[in-house]
Amino acid sequence: MKERLEALKVEALGELAAVGSQQELNELRIKYLGKKGPLTEILRGMGALSAEERPIIGQVANEVRAAIEAVIDEKQAAYTAAETELRLRAETIDVTLPGRPAPVGAVHPLNKVIQEIEDVFLGMGFTIEEGPEVETDYYNFEALNLPKDHPARDMQDSFYITDEILMRTQTSPMQPRMMERLKGAVPVKFISPGKVYRRDDDDATHSHQFTQIEGLVIDKGIRMSDLKGTLLQFVRELFGAKTEIRLRPSFFPFTEPSVEVDVSCFMCGGEGCRLCKHTGWIEILGAGMVHPRVLEMSGYDPEKVSGFAFGMGPERIAMLKYGVDDIRHFYNNDLRFLRQFAHL
């Protein structure tokens, strides 16, 4: 029996020495150490041995088992290490590779101009109010002294949704809206930026959707000189301290008198150039003293208070300021265009 054990050991170690894979090692482990293996079988048969033989054979059997186990453990450790090594190598991260830059957004040039304008008026004590783009005929026209058959409605071709509801053609409806909200209280002093819509065919200078910034001031004793002073201060902060303004008579149904406001050309300083079409002046605003009818309709007494209103188009200002020759650039979302403003 002792010879059988020794032979078993030689055979097992021989096979183990030639093992070539984890799979083979598993098979050999079962073959030699498993419940149905020869070693188990031998140990089971020990009952038949004499009392003197039993401990000797038992000891040899344990030694053989230990020897086989030791080699299997050693091989197993090698396989485990090799496998770990392989996995680590596969998962290696090259920390010296440059990172992928995260895309960073930038403020749209139009929004940038709107924010600049807002900052100037905030500094002069105006609040910023926003109103609905889907508007009633009443606020968009009627309350601004444009009754249903008024010819001046043709100045602003409109997108009607029903007879009484339309996409607002201007930010001016915020005038009656705010006056109603304040119920006759003064001062009224706000600007209102937002989108407006007109039935225009899009081209380099027209867009069916564009933006405006409205302004309204109402208080006791507001005069035309307040309008002029406020707008002069505004253009000087936006275009530079040497900027001058010029008021030209104009017409809006909701202001009387009405003016168009030009600024001295910020490119040539008034000498005449391509930007100002050699006039020295650039038109940027419509404005005027609030019409008494408009005050009255929204609950303000024109005998006690007065006010001025103005409206401007940020697209036009942005085009002039940045030398953009097509209004559609602001709406096409062409990143090659937009990226040029990312660092301004």
107's tokens:
């403020």
DSSP, collapsed to helix, strand or coil, labels residue 211 as strand
Q: How far is the CB of 319 from ligand PHE (least distance, A)?
A: 17
Q: How far is the CB of 141 from ligand PHE (least distance, A)?
A: 11
Please tell me the distance from the alpha carbon of residue 148 to that of residue 162, in angstroms, as a whole number: 14
CB nearer ligand PHE, residue 31 or residue 150: 150
Applying CB under 6 A, among 131, 193, 288, 307 the residue interacting with ligand PHE is 288
76's tokens:
């197993």
CB nearer ligand PHE, residue 140 or residue 243: 140
| Residues in 14-43 that interact with ligand PHE by CB under 6 A | none
Binding piece for ligand PHE, criterion CB under 6 A, among 17-25, 44-52, 283-291, 329-337: 283-291
CB nearer ligand PHE, residue 37 or residue 286: 286
- Nearest Cα to Cα of residue 39 among 17, 66, 20: 66
Please tell me the distance from the alpha carbon of residue 166 to that of residue 94, in angstroms, as a whole number: 60
CB 137 within 8 A of CB 143: no
| Residues in 296-335 that interact with ligand PHE by CB under 6 A | 309-311
- Nearest Cα to Cα of residue 197 among 163, 173, 217, 178: 173
Applying CB under 6 A, among 167, 287, 295, 324 the residue interacting with ligand PHE is 287
Please tell me the distance from the alpha carbon of residue 201 to that of residue 207, in angstroms, as a whole number: 7
CB 62 within 8 A of CB 5: no
Tell me whether residue 74 is annotated as binding: no
| Residues in 196-225 that interact with ligand PHE by CB under 6 A | 214
**Angle (deg, nearest 10), helices 224-239 and 109-123:** 130
CB nearer ligand PHE, residue 276 or residue 287: 287
Which amino acid is present at 101?
P
Q: How far is the CB of 101 from ligand PHE (least distance, A)?
A: 43
202's tokens:
């899009």
CB atoms within 10 A of CB 191: 26
Cα three-residue angle 212-197-325, rounded to 5 degrees:
65
> Count of residues binding ligand PHE (CB under 6 A)?
11
| Residues in 133-162 that interact with ligand PHE by CB under 6 A | none
Contact between 170 and ligand PHE per CB under 6 A: yes
Applying CB under 6 A, among 286, 306, 307, 327 the residue interacting with ligand PHE is 286
| Residues in 231-260 that interact with ligand PHE by CB under 6 A | 252, 255
Binding-site residue ranges for Mg(2+): 256
* Residues lying near ligand PHE in the complex (CB under 6 A): 170, 172, 214, 252, 255, 286-288, 309-311
Binding-site residue ranges: 256
